[in-house]
Amino acid sequence: MMIVLTPIREFKVPIFAECISPEVFEGKNIVQIGQLPVYEGNREKKLQELFKIEEAKTAEGVAEPAITIQGDVSKLKYIGAGMTKGEIVINGSVGMYLGEEMKGGKITVYGNAGGWAGSAMKGGTIEIHGDAGDYLAAPYRGSTQGMSGGKIIVYGNAGVDAGAYMRKGIIKVHGNAGQFVGVGMHDGVIYVKGNCDGRAGSCMTGGTIVISGFIESILPTFTFEGLKKKVKIEESEVVEVPLYLFIGDLTENGKGKLYVSKANNPQLYYYERFL
């Protein structure tokens, strides 16, 4: 069975809800789930004080244990933090730290996600059908342990520092991305289908960044390696268009690969004189 959570009222202050996770709910009945602790601001509450809790038949194709959240929960933080299995479906927008240090399972958001979605995740899949905030998959300030596995797909836009200090895994952004995509990146793949605000790959030492849209300039600490006809994103996806390839960041003795669409970046044509 699937547990369905529906907010009883509009939330005005941040709610810390680490308990909303498939393995925490597993083996518990509705009464026990309702007694789980959450914090609304600095006040401890029970989950049943904030949500209507119901059972429903698990939808076809959804992995158990399963949770569905109905409505806007953009004030809720830490949903699915550390989860290892099962599935969470959110029919609305969600707050910060979604799937923090997630190890397995799947989270689907039919709305926007706040900052640090998938922060330092290690496995599993997050799909965001709206926009993602800043620091997608990035670690907390002061840490360099970024995403080390799993997959994040954003069908809208992503903010700044997406994939910061990434070590493994795949991030796909169907829309645009802010500055510093892949900052400090060690390994993994980041694919931005839209435009990028710039400074992509700053301080990266390894990994692959692919930008299919427009980027105003390439950092001067990257060296031009030539034109490529295609680049592999994952086993099931290959980008087959002319791409400029840059290697860097040389300030870190980096060997990361930055691929940029030729067709959408005529301002970079001057690099072709080095061929």
Residue 217 is predicted with a pLDDT of: 95
Distance separating alpha carbons of residues 210 and 125, to the nearest angstrom: 20
Instruction: Supply the pTM of this predicted model.
Output: 0.96
- The HSE-up count of residue 56 (CA atoms within 13 Å, CB side) is 16
Contacting residues for 216 by C-beta, under 8 A, at least 6 apart: 197, 198, 267
Residue 182 is predicted with a pLDDT of: 98
Closest CA to 188 of 203, 210, 220: 210
Residue 129 is predicted with a pLDDT of: 98
Q: In the beta sheet, which residues pair with residue 18? A: none
Distance separating alpha carbons of residues 160 and 140, to the nearest angstrom: 14
Q: In the beta sheet, which residues pair with residue 56? A: 2
Secondary structure (3-state) at 204: coil
Distance separating alpha carbons of residues 20 and 122, to the nearest angstrom: 19
Residue 275 is predicted with a pLDDT of: 78
Structural domain boundaries of the chain? 2-274
pLDDT along the chain (275 residues), means of 10: 95 97 95 97 97 90 91 98 97 98 98 98 98 97 93 98 98 98 98 97 98 97 97 96 98 98 96 85
Query: Left, alpha or beta for 163 (phi > 0: left; psi -120 to 50: alpha)?
Result: left
CATH architecture of 2-274: 3 Solenoid (2.160)
Helix (H), strand (E) at residue 48: helix 47-50
